[in-house]
Amino acid sequence: MCCTAHQQRFLKGDDEYRNKHTKLVPYIVDGPLAIRMIKPKPQEFSIHGVRHPVTWHQVRKTKDSTTGCLSSALLECDIDVVSNPTIRKIVSMVRPHMSKITIDLALIVSKPKDSEVKEPSACIGMWRVDKVDFETCAVLPQKSVEEVAQEVKSYIALEEQD
């Protein structure tokens, strides 16, 4: 995998570095007219702030002692957006229309402002939220980071066997 220097610093760095350089870019692709009318231009938003704290969890690459299979490293970001009254207000306005809305999201690592090297920002993940119907969504049980990591490791082990 080819990474820029700041992507390497992001992956190997501490939480303070990640909080400072991680941005989220939301974009409303489709939805009812009322939602499209308030559609902002795509712009980067810092995901860390006093009003919406971020917690990072990292699981290192490991080798299963019984199967000998390697698991991939995992980096998870938990963002407490519910504690921010502005975001809560936007979500309460948009939630009734979620079954009719398509939103694209990108997670960006921005370059350090004091960087002498001209590095571009890097997209480390993208996903689409497409017409989510909360009435029919499954309710997932709460799991600890360790339980999720173990589950991911078992899925990876199964993939490698195939």
Strand, helix or coil at 23?
strand
Closest CA to 124 of 13, 30, 35: 13
**33 DSSP 8-state letter:** H
Task: Look up residue 149 and give its amino acid.
Answer: A
Give me the pLDDT at residue 3, please: 64
Tell me: pLDDT of 162 over 80: no
Give CA torsion, residues 109, 49, 15, 3, to 10 deg: 0
Measuring CA to CA, how many Å separate 28 from each of 10, 43, 95, 151? Answer: 27, 12, 13, 32
The average pLDDT across 9-27 equals 82
Model confidence over 94-113: pLDDT tens digits? 778 888 888 888 888 887 67
Measuring CA to CA, how many Å separate 72 from each of 63, 88, 133? Answer: 9, 34, 32
Give me the pLDDT at residue 54, please: 84
Model confidence over 34-90: pLDDT tens digits? 777 776 677 777 777 666 788 888 877 777 777 777 766 778 888 877 777 777 777
Give me the pLDDT at residue 157, please: 73
Task: Look up residue 73 and give its amino acid.
Answer: A
Tell me: pLDDT of 1 over 70: no
Give me the pLDDT at residue 134, please: 75
Give me the pLDDT at residue 71, please: 66
Instruction: Using the Cα atoms of residue 23, residue 59, residue 79 and residue 98 in order, give the sign of their dihedral.
Output: positive
Query: Could you give the percent of the chain with pLDDT greater than 70?
Result: 82
Task: Give a three-class secondary structure readout of 100-157.
Answer: HCEEEEEEEECCCCCCCCCCCCEEEEEEEEECCCCCCCCCCCCCCHHHHHHHHHHHHH
Using pLDDT thresholds of 50, 70 and 90, give the confidence band for residue 159: low
Give me the pLDDT at residue 105, please: 87
